[in-house]
Amino acid sequence: MEIKKTIQETRECVKAWREKGLSVGLVPTMGYLHEGHGSLVTKAKQENDRVVVSIFVNPMQFGPNEDLASYPRDIEKDRAFCEKLGADLIFHPEPEEMYTSGFCSYVDMSVLTEELCGLSRPVHFRGVCTVVSKLFHIVQPDRAYFGQKDAQQLAIIKRMVLDLNMDLEVVGCPIVREEDGLAKSSRNTYLNTEERKAALVLSRAVRLGEKMVSDGEKDASVLLAAMKAEIEKEPLARIDYVKAVDGLTMQPKDMVEASMLVAMAVYIGKTRLIDNFICE
Ligand code: PAF
């Protein structure tokens, strides 16, 4: 498995595969890979002849007071992880390779980006959509793989692909959790021992919400109030949002219905964590 740092080298490699009639899967990541990413690579391996993993901490999707500088990075560990899972190529560009001097083109979506994380992270999804469309143009994959943990991101990317007639399939993969329930995230590494324990309040709230739905709760405000009360029991937790929205449009829902997304962002100390579930 090779690491390519330039767009041109990556394109040449993918072109050679294409000439042999091979299909290509792309797993876009910001690195510091964990089993959540691993599940995407494994799925991509099952469904494609070749798999590209992009590792790029995208400055454009971080706000001015966010964790761009401290975002964890370990390319050697990531290389070994990808190699073990059978990925064929890592695309690992520098910011200057992706954003050349004078860069001024953006993919800016509305509606879906204006709810949930978009409210507290106003520039985030513009950065995500821009970099993901660049990655799609560079790699031109048949399929691209994203985790359901970032449910809003997944819905936005699916909509972007539809709206802009991008010729690929976007595949969503289930949330991968630690044994105690915490959703896997590169940002879990920021948590100290006490915060790590406190962070379990997110998955506890998810389980409570799922149980209420399976027990027949129909009123979204009752569901959300119970989940918020559960989170508020934890002194280290500060709620950014807990909301029930349509799983495709991200618009708020009053009544519980199939494919509704219940999503939350909660600060544990300074670390902002997200989690969610979809109503069956
Ligand atoms: O989910 C992520 O890790 C990032 O938002 C993505 C999709 C790789 C774009 O930078």
Ligand 1 pocket residue status of 29, Cβ below 6 Å: yes
The whole-number average pLDDT for the span 12-32 is 98
The whole-number pLDDT of residue 280 equals: 85
DSSP state of 219: B
Per-residue pLDDT tens over the stretch 189-211: 999 999 999 999 999 999 999 99
C-alpha 228/C-alpha 263 separation (Å) is: 11
Per-residue pLDDT tens over the stretch 271-280: 999 999 999 8
Per-residue pLDDT tens over the stretch 134-170: 999 999 999 999 999 999 999 999 999 999 999 999 9
Containing 238, the helix (H) or strand (E) segment is strand 237-246
**Hey, is 79 helix, strand or coil?**
helix
The whole-number average pLDDT for the span 43-59 is 98
52, 56, 90, 150: residue to mutate for ligand 1 pocket, most atoms within 8 A of CB: 150
- Dihedral of CA atoms 194, 197, 203, 205 in degrees, nearest 10, equals -70
Distance 165 CA to ligand 1 centre (A): 20
Per-residue pLDDT tens over the stretch 68-89: 999 999 999 999 999 999 999 9
Ligand 1 pocket residue status of 28, Cβ below 6 Å: yes
Distance 29 CA to ligand 1 centre (A): 5
- Dihedral of CA atoms 47, 138, 37, 17 in degrees, nearest 10, equals 40
- The catalytic residues are 37
The whole-number pLDDT of residue 185 equals: 98
Average pLDDT, the chain: 98
Per-residue pLDDT tens over the stretch 105-139: 999 999 999 999 999 999 999 999 999 999 999 99
